Amino acid sequence: MITKDGQNYIMNTYKRYPITLKNGKGCNVYDHEGNEYLDMISGIACCPLGHSNEAIKKAIMESADGFTNISNLFYTEQQVKLAKKLVEVSGMEKCFFGNSGTEANEAALKLAIANTKKHEFIACKNAFHGRTFGSLSATWEKKYRTKFKPLVSKFKFVEYGNTNAIENTISDKTAAVIIEPIQGEAGIIVPPEDYLKEVQEICDKKGVLLIIDEVQTGNGRTGTYFEYLSHSIKPDIVTTAKGLANGLPMGVAIAKGIDFEPGDHASTFGGNSFVSSVALTTIETIFKENLMENAKNIGEYIKNEIQMLNKKSIKDIRGKGLMIGIELRKNAKEKVAEFISKKILISVVHEKTIRLLPPLIINKGEVENFISSFNEVVK
């Protein structure tokens, strides 16, 4: 009934999986029949603390006692505290709050144009930055773009991982380079170790801004709060969303040395006190409970265990922390249903890659459950 009504009343965007979920606890979610599933996707990297986390519930209840929105015509303690925390964690200077990853990137692109007075950008082949017009223009896949042309601004696409390509493509019209530190939707593609550092050097040398899109990699997922921090670089703008408020809608663009002028950009909902207090609780809990360390350790454990299964059908295992891609030699899409029959939720990107983005609280026992199902599903 829910599935049928969903098909009738909700637009045809996502290809949905054949179960309807009711609630969750920790790394598990439950369907309407009470079946328990191990959630190895966590809302596509949205719930670092898992489901119905006590600290998050408390923050939500306390917010409900105040107000949910008072607009950005006023400062609120929650938004200011969150901005201060994000600046402290990122080493950047100022935040703009929106409600999603695509909005965070829209803000970043507008910020770059407003501050450089230039309109050209460099993005990477296979990049995914969102689906609104600015961020869609920075997104590579033809299947997302073609129908909606003409897009905005001028984007030149270069090979991911190749610094010469960036250096040779920058012109005096380039406002910024926009890059994911690990490409997520492209199939969890990790660039060469020195790539980001070299890109930063090129951008600095040529006077071009560097935008790092941490929408998927951020919020502790790869073992540091932002992945760029593990490369000791200081971009001009960093964006994140997804896990920022443990599943509530929030995106942020954090900048250094540049700002908007009043009227350049805005968001009615962005950074409302309710979501801000949940985001602050999420960040504090990630640090307090050492979840980034857990992401590193458990991530390595998963990769090693899969490696040890020594499956011929696996072409590659890659990723960092709890952002893991297992590329099969054949299309992996049919595996989703097989995993569901074993009560495990996974996702597949780029046809052949099983993508794991579990909550950062996941423990070894839960991982062992996943590995034993994996062993049966992937022959």
State the residues that interact with ligand PLP by CB under 6 A: 100-102, 105, 128-130, 180, 184-185, 213, 215-216, 241
Q: At closest approach, how far in Å is the CB of 184 from ligand PLP? A: 4
Q: At closest approach, how far in Å is the CB of 185 from ligand PLP? A: 5
Of 245 and 378, the one with the shorter C-beta distance to ligand PLP is 245
Beta strand ranges found along 94-220 (DSSP E): 94-98, 120-124, 154-158, 174-179, 209-213
Coil, strand or helix at 238: strand
Q: Using a CB cutoff of 8 Å and minimum separation of 24, what contacts does 334-340 make?
A: 335/377, 335/378, 336/17, 337/17, 337/18, 338/377, 339/373, 339/377, 340/17, 340/18, 340/19, 340/37
Of 357 and 377, the one with the shorter C-beta distance to ligand PLP is 357
Of 129 and 335, the one with the shorter C-beta distance to ligand PLP is 129
Q: Using a CB cutoff of 8 Å and minimum separation of 24, what contacts does 296-304 make?
A: 296/223, 296/321, 298/322, 298/362, 298/363, 298/364, 298/367, 299/223, 299/323, 299/324, 301/364, 301/367, 302/356, 302/367, 302/370, 302/371
User: Of 260, 211, 175, 190, which is closest to residue 101 (Cα–Cα)?
Assistant: 211
Backbone angles phi, psi at 296, to 5 degrees: -65, -50
Of 44 and 165, the one with the shorter C-beta distance to ligand PLP is 44
Residue least distant from ligand PLP (Cβ): 101
Of 30 and 144, the one with the shorter C-beta distance to ligand PLP is 144
Of 16 and 288, the one with the shorter C-beta distance to ligand PLP is 16
Helix 291-309 and helix 273-288: axis angle, to 10°? 70
Of 253 and 291, the one with the shorter C-beta distance to ligand PLP is 253
According to DSSP, the β-strands at 36-39 and 209-213 are unpaired
List CB contacts of 49: < 8 A, sequence separation 6 or more: 55, 56, 246, 282, 285, 286, 291, 359, 360, 361
Of 180 and 305, the one with the shorter C-beta distance to ligand PLP is 180
Q: At closest approach, how far in Å is the CB of 213 from ligand PLP? A: 5
